Structure formats: structure tokens, C-alpha cells
Amino acid sequence: VENEKESKITMKKKEDCQPAVFIPVDRLPEIQEARLKLPVLAEEQVIMEAVRENEFVVLCGETGSGKTTQIPQFLYEAGYASAGGIIGVTEPRRVAAVSMSHRVAKEMNLSTGVVSFQIRYEGNVTKDTKIKFMTDGVLLKEIQKDFLLQKYSVIVIDEAHERSVYTDILIGLLSRIVPLRNKKGLPMKLLIMSATLRVEDFTENKRLFRTSPPVISVEARQFPVTVHFNKHTAMEDYTGEAFRKTCKIHRMLPPGGILVFLTGQAEVHSVCRRLRKAFPYRGSVQHTDAEDTSEELRKFKKVNKKKTVSLPRIDLDNYSALPVDEGDEDRQAGIDDDAEEGSDLDLDLGDNPEDAEEKADPSIPLYVLPLYSLLAPEQQAKVFRPPPPQARLCVVATNVAETSLTIPGIKYVVDCGRVKKRFYDKVTGVSSFRVTWISQASANQRAGRAGRTEPGHCYRLYSSAVFSDFSLFSEAEITRRPVEDLVLQMKDLNIEKVVNFPFPTPPSSEALVSAERLLVSLGALEEPPRQGRMVDMERARLSCPITPLGRAMAAFPVAPRYAKMLALGRQQGCMPYVITIVAAMTVREIFEELDRQASSEQESSKLAGRKARFVQMRRLWAGQGPSLLLGDLMVMLGAVGACEFAGCMPSFCEENGLRYKAMLEIRRLRGQLTNAVNAVCSDMGVCVDSKMAPPTESQVVCLRQIVLAGLGDHLARRVQAEEMLDPKWRNGYKTPLLDDPVFIHPSSALHKTLPEFVVYQEVMETTKMYMKGVCAVQPDWIPKLIPQYCHFSGPEKNPAPWYCPHSGRVRSQQQSTFFRIGWKLPAIEL
């Protein structure tokens, strides 16, 4: 009787929340057939029942089990998109949001106007959209406009295991929004999807969910993967080792795709080249270099083979940039893997690995494709298509292939065990890309890629002893990066006490304190009181309310320092330039990498020629006169201006060392920022004039001041000869937070000029600590524009502000001219 009673209660509950409709979907037979093989299909009822009965549900299933493509379809069929709201799906990566929306539209036989996507720069959402894929950042912005997200009846947070910062925050916010909606009689559901079983941070977190949400795991490993460890601990030369292992697999093992995991673009290219050389492919499909940015470019090259392409005349005659050690935005993940060690397919390479190259049999076709996040989308899409007949597919990838993209037909995985990650120094803000060991979860996730279509093998280029030293899981991103952008966004959502926010994993209090401090000094938050009890002051420091300037800044989809520049951009018609500079600084690496390794002498001389030309172009863009002082930002401005002047053609980028993809992104971001600026200050009416004229002399001065106001905490002063105690300081710059010197990179526009005071975009540590995005500023601007970073001394004789090499601060006695920069100021008076 007890049981019956209970089941009646659940029955009633079910009826209550069950959408009454079933929306039929007309799929093609071959799609339907492929779907039936996916593990989540078998669990459809269980999943949908859990969703009906609970506000929050967590779904775990290995990559490739069908979560992203199928769950939105289940929800659609169950009527969640027809009850007055739509289905929203968030992805941490743009590439996933776009490609998954296309895939789902195709599977459902619906137009992209119904299954749509929205990412930072673009989207195809219409009024008929029922399923909307978007990046997590896009949904966060929507919450700012409508806290209850009334458009949606269900939100699916995908790839939650990646622990991307926005995903974490969305989960925190939705843990409050969903109950609020249901209380108001506007039913809403949240489904969190993870590729790993490690979801305790969400489920066992009492601050997030008072009662733990149900966790449904989908059994997904279709085929076992045998893991082979290296006998020797770990090779230094893991790219060489990866190459040799791949050669051996290709020569000795049965058909099946090979997926090689490396850490960065340069490594991927080098291994691709070596493999293509070892196994030249003579099929109908030609290998194309990844540098070719698009189909269009190839066509262009064909047409223009004989003609020499002459540069269009460019009015902007100024600019240089800094090849920064580029890293892939790699994220980590993991699953449990029960594959065993050792088998008959163990390839013993331990003792004489060198011979593999010589013995390679070039008659076996190997179809080699690179895959990394900066690769042009057309090139990325190639990995989904079947390889040419009889050829073996070999994808050489960075971490992007770990969870977000499932490449069909992979039977062998070669795992170098490393990942390139961005590290931030919490105190100094210096960032660097470093290659580190992956976590055990990541290693298992990588191995899992081999068992998708048949039993597979994973060759780890490290020993089991090294593996057991790996950390179990990778850290949440929020604990590793600065959080000032998040704090500003949250303050704009009126979450004043960010410390109390239900983060799945809270950021360190250090990070929160420094974020609030930066935002206060940018004028985005009100200053905390300087008087009162110590405890109260401490508390107030972590709960400063947002200012009107802060609200304006939060409306711009860029980091607070750049948002500040935009907020000040209305001086002297500078806004279009500020927008362009900010867009260029926000987009990763606009210049082609110059320091690529050449594989042959012929290629090396070709590369040297290109490099010389690019360097020359950058010098041209930087100019000579006053514009040179805008430094690397002038180079960016000139590159964008010149590129737009030439019609933003792939050919122009190719000729001048610009990344075509970056240029397109800048163009989109300029449009988006212009709209945002017009929305914030409706009286401005800024237009996107892609072919803007170069800035005038006085505009250049103004731009440098605006940049100083935004990057005030990134001020550096050249060390004077008399202060130079140690030769390591030669040509070095002193910054407030670092003990060691930072330098202007040889490729910077200001490398020869060495101005006394500069501001920089960021410091990257490569061989030395180099400033990236350097711009010269005048000392007398400093106390006026960034007084918050100055010590003001008494009315002494010395009238000029000076820079204290010990505290790193600028001193000045010009207290009388001290004023704060506010959003409303018509112009910066100097």
C-alpha cells in the first residue's frame, strides 16, 4: 500500500508537468538508422522522465554518445519548444555551437531558421527558432537583459565537464533562476550535460542545489580501447616520438584512422609535414597546406598564378607586431577508462625508434589532416568527411579533438600526454603558455576517441608510472584566470556580493579582491569607504556597488580595460579607431606566425622571404611621425585599415602576413561594438566605416590617452642608465608589480624608439618577459588620467611627476590638476 501511494504521487506529479504534445519529426531513413546506434537513444525515456519530474537533471555520457545532437531533439519531440518557450543549448566553444546547430537541423530535416545558432559575432536566429545553440557567453548576456530568461522553456548546458568560466557562472545563476521561474508559474528546466562522471561539484554542492539533482549516466563505451604505455618514462622529443609511432602504426597495423594529440599549432604542422613527406599521397585529393586560408584563396592563387599581385596604395602609412607564442585554447576533460595495458598490438619503439622513418613504405596512402582551433573552418570541416578511398585518415590535432569534436573512424590514438595551457600569475597578471602534463581524466578521454567504431588502441608516449603521477582531474578554469570581467558582469546583474555567489568552484579570494580593486580604479565600481572598522572595510571592499560608468562598460562584450577605452572613445571623433583597436586587441593573434620551422631548405628560403616582407609591412603600418608613438596599436589599426581598404580579401592577408580568419573576426566585432556603443550612447550615431581614413595627429594623441586610461595598471617605465645596476636591466622596463624587467619585443613598432613611459596590453613570458601591444604615453598625462595609480608628494620643487623604481608608482605634486575621468566628460582636457 505504501508503494502504491508513493507511485500515485509520482504519477500525479508527472501528469502535472508533462507537456501534453508530441511533436513529430520527419527524419531521413539513413539519419534515423545512424541515430539508433547512439547510446543516448536507448535512454531517451529515462532521461525525459527525469526532466519531467525535476527542475534540474545532470546527464553524463561519453563524448560521441549523442548528447549534443540528440537531447535537443528529445526535448523538441516532447513539446518543450511548443509550450511558449524555446530550447536553449550552450556550448563553451563557438565552433561547436555552429557545427552542432547545422548537424541537428540536418538530422531533424528542419531549416536553420528553426534550429539556429548565436555566437559572439553572428547567428541565424529567426522568430521561428525552436532550438538555439549558443556560446555560454551569449546566454550570460541574455540573462543581463532578462533575468528570468522567459524566452526559454529549457536550458541545456553542454560540456559542463570543461568547467569553462561562463558555464560555471551560468550554472550558478540558473540554480536560482529555475526555481524562481517555477515559483512564478513559468515552468523551466535545466539540464547539465557532462562527458565525465565527475559531477560532484554540481550535484553535491549545497549552495547550488539544496537537494542533489538526479544524475543519469549513459553507458557509452561501445568498444574496448587497449592502452599501451611507453616502456620508458617520457621522451623530451615527443613530437618526434609521435611521428615515429604514427609511421609504425601506419606501416604495421590494420586499417583504421589515426588521431595524434599534440599541444600546439606549430607542432601539428611539423608532424603533418613529416608524415606527408614519409608517405607522399598521390591520390586525387591533394594535401593542402593549412596556411591556405580558404577555398577562395586557392582559386585566387590559380587565377593569379602568372600575375604579380601588387599592393593597393594605402593611405595609412604606419605600423609592427609581436609574434606571441601562440597556444591553443585548450580545455580539459576526462572519463573513466577501463582499458588494460599490454596486447599483441603493442608497438615496441622503446629501443630504436629512429628506424621507422627510413622503413616507411610510401606506397601506402596516408591522408594527413591538421586540426586546431585557429584553423580555418573549411579546413576544420574536412575531418568529418570520409578520407579518399583506400587511404588511411590521420588527424594531427591539439586538444580540440579531445571532447568537443568527434572524428569518425578513429581506431588508433597517439597521445603525447601534454597540453599547452595559459597560465596567469595571480599577483602580476603576467601570462604565459606552458606545456604541461594532462590529467588522468584527460588522458582517458583521449584514449576513448579510439573506440568509437570498433575496438581501438591508444599509444601513450609516456610510462604508466608517469601516468599515475598525473592529477586525477583538471582544475576548473575559474580558479586559474583573472575574474574582473566576470565580477563586472555579475555586478551588472546586481549581484553585489560576488563572494557569496554559488559558484560550482569559487575563485580564490585573492582573485576576487584584485578584480574589485581593478574595477574600482577603472571607475566601474564605487570606491569602498576608507574609514571605519577594519572588518567592515574588508567586507565593503568585496561588495562595491556598480557605477553608471560600470554599467556602460558592462554593455560592451569585451574585458573591462577595453570597455573603459570604449567608454572614453567619444573624444575628437576617435570612436571608430578605439573600436578597431579594441577589436584587434580582443581577437587572438592577427598576424601570421613568423617563426615557423621550415621542413626543407627551399621552404626555409621561401619563409625567410615572406618574413622579411611582413616585417617591412608592419614597419610601414607603424609609420614614422607622431603615429609611431601609438606603437603596436597603430600597427593593428594600419593592418585593419589596409586590409579593409583592399576589400578584406584572403589574397591580401596571405600576401601581407595577416590571418584572414582574424580579419573577418575583427570586421564582425567592429560591427558589434559599434552597435553596442550606439546603444549605450544613443546620441552618438557612430557608423562602421570599414575604410576609415587614418587618424589625424591630434587623434593619435587622443587615442594614446584613451589607451592609457584603460591600461593604466599596465604602465611601464624605461630604466634609466643611472638606475641600471644590473646588466639584465639593459633596455628593460620597470613595472609596478614585477621585480624583474620587462622588454619591448624586437618585432614591436617601438623596439627602436624605447619611449620612457609605455602602457602594454599584456606581458607574455617567452624567452624573456615581453610586453605585447605597446603604446607610448607622455609622463604629464599620468597624474591626470590615472591618478589612482599615483603617489602625490607635497608641493616640492620638482614639478614633473616621477616614477619611483621601488614602489613602481608615479609620483607627482600636481594635486591641483587631479581630476577623475568620468563617462560624461566631453573631452579629456590637457
Q: Which positions touch ligand ADP (CB under 6 A)?
A: 38, 61, 63-70, 99, 103, 384, 406, 408
Out of ligand ADP, Mg ion, none, what residue 517 binds, judged by CB under 5 to 8 A for its kind, is none
Residue 157: exposure state from Cβ atoms within 10 A (0-12, 13-18, ≥19): buried
Q: Does 68 participate in binding Mg ion (rule CB under 5 A)?
A: yes
Interatomic CA distance for residues 188 and 179, integer angstroms: 8
| Side chain identity at residue 163, one-letter code | R
| Side chain identity at residue 828, one-letter code | I
Out of Mg ion, ligand ADP, none, what residue 408 binds, judged by CB under 5 to 8 A for its kind, is ligand ADP
CB of 68 to Mg ion, least distance (A): 3
Out of Mg ion, ligand ADP, none, what residue 627 binds, judged by CB under 5 to 8 A for its kind, is none
CB of 328 to ligand ADP, least distance (A): 19
Out of Mg ion, ligand ADP, none, what residue 431 binds, judged by CB under 5 to 8 A for its kind, is none
CB of 828 to Mg ion, least distance (A): 49
Query: Which residue's C-beta sits nearest to Mg ion?
Result: 68
DSSP 714-774: GEEEEPPGGG--SGGGTT-EE-SS-SS-BEE-TTSTTTTT--SEEEEEEEEESSSEEEEEE
Using the minimum distance from each CB to ligand ADP, give the nearer residue, 452 or 659: 452
Using the minimum distance from each CB to ligand ADP, give the nearer residue, 71 or 676: 71
Out of ligand ADP, Mg ion, none, what residue 65 binds, judged by CB under 5 to 8 A for its kind, is ligand ADP
CB of 443 to Mg ion, least distance (A): 19
Using the minimum distance from each CB to Mg ion, give the nearer residue, 68 or 474: 68
Q: What residues does 135 pair with on adjacent strands? A: 91
Out of Mg ion, ligand ADP, none, what residue 611 binds, judged by CB under 5 to 8 A for its kind, is none
CB of 801 to Mg ion, least distance (A): 55
Using the minimum distance from each CB to ligand ADP, give the nearer residue, 67 or 331: 67
Q: Which stretch binds Mg ion (CB under 5 A): 61-69, 146-154, 475-483, 757-765?
A: 61-69
Out of Mg ion, ligand ADP, none, what residue 656 binds, judged by CB under 5 to 8 A for its kind, is none
Using the minimum distance from each CB to ligand ADP, give the nearer residue, 384 or 819: 384
**666 and 591 Cβ atoms separated by less than 8 Å:** no
Nearest to 109 by CA among 76, 85, 134: 76
Out of ligand ADP, Mg ion, none, what residue 384 binds, judged by CB under 5 to 8 A for its kind, is ligand ADP
**323 and 593 Cβ atoms separated by less than 8 Å:** yes
Interatomic CA distance for residues 620 and 316, integer angstroms: 9
Contacts for 68 with CB less than 8 Å, ≥ 6 apart: 89, 91, 96, 100, 158, 193
CB of 404 to ligand ADP, least distance (A): 8
Phi and psi based region of residue 418 (left: phi greater than 0; alpha: psi -120 to 50; beta: remaining): beta
Out of Mg ion, ligand ADP, none, what residue 64 binds, judged by CB under 5 to 8 A for its kind, is ligand ADP
Phi and psi based region of residue 572 (left: phi greater than 0; alpha: psi -120 to 50; beta: remaining): left
Query: Cα dist. 468→90, 434, 475 in Å?
Result: 34, 21, 17
CB of 70 to ligand ADP, least distance (A): 6
Beta strands 810-812; 802-803: pairing state: antiparallel
Nearest to 325 by CA among 424, 438, 420: 420
Q: Which stretch binds Mg ion (CB under 5 A): 67-75, 126-134, 478-486, 677-685?
A: 67-75
Out of Mg ion, ligand ADP, none, what residue 139 binds, judged by CB under 5 to 8 A for its kind, is none
| The three cell numbers locating residue 184 | 512564478
Using the minimum distance from each CB to ligand ADP, give the nearer residue, 67 or 704: 67
Using the minimum distance from each CB to ligand ADP, give the nearer residue, 218 or 708: 218
Using the minimum distance from each CB to Mg ion, give the nearer residue, 64 or 353: 64
Q: What DSSP designation does 527 have?
A: P
Using the minimum distance from each CB to Mg ion, give the nearer residue, 71 or 738: 71
Interatomic CA distance for residues 71 and 532, integer angstroms: 54
CB of 70 to Mg ion, least distance (A): 10
Q: Which stretch binds Mg ion (CB under 5 A): 68-76, 394-402, 409-417, 747-755?
A: 68-76
Interatomic CA distance for residues 632 and 621, integer angstroms: 9
Out of ligand ADP, Mg ion, none, what residue 223 binds, judged by CB under 5 to 8 A for its kind, is none
CB of 499 to ligand ADP, least distance (A): 34
Interatomic CA distance for residues 518 and 514, integer angstroms: 6
Beta strand ranges found along 166-218 (DSSP E): 189-194, 215-218
CB of 311 to ligand ADP, least distance (A): 39
Nearest to 691 by CA among 672, 668, 667, 661: 667
Interatomic CA distance for residues 436 and 281, integer angstroms: 34
Residue 424: exposure state from Cβ atoms within 10 A (0-12, 13-18, ≥19): middle
Using the minimum distance from each CB to ligand ADP, give the nearer residue, 155 or 247: 155
Nearest to 435 by CA among 417, 461, 413: 417
Using the minimum distance from each CB to Mg ion, give the nearer residue, 67 or 228: 67
Out of Mg ion, ligand ADP, none, what residue 196 binds, judged by CB under 5 to 8 A for its kind, is none
CB of 726 to ligand ADP, least distance (A): 54
Out of ligand ADP, Mg ion, none, what residue 449 binds, judged by CB under 5 to 8 A for its kind, is none
Contacts for 85 with CB less than 8 Å, ≥ 6 apart: 150, 151, 152, 153, 154, 188
Using the minimum distance from each CB to Mg ion, give the nearer residue, 99 or 318: 99
Interatomic CA distance for residues 340 and 788, integer angstroms: 60
| The three cell numbers locating residue 286 | 591533394
Using the minimum distance from each CB to Mg ion, give the nearer residue, 94 or 418: 94
CB of 219 to Mg ion, least distance (A): 16
CB of 395 to ligand ADP, least distance (A): 13
Q: Contact positions toward Mg ion, by CB under 5 A?
A: 67-68
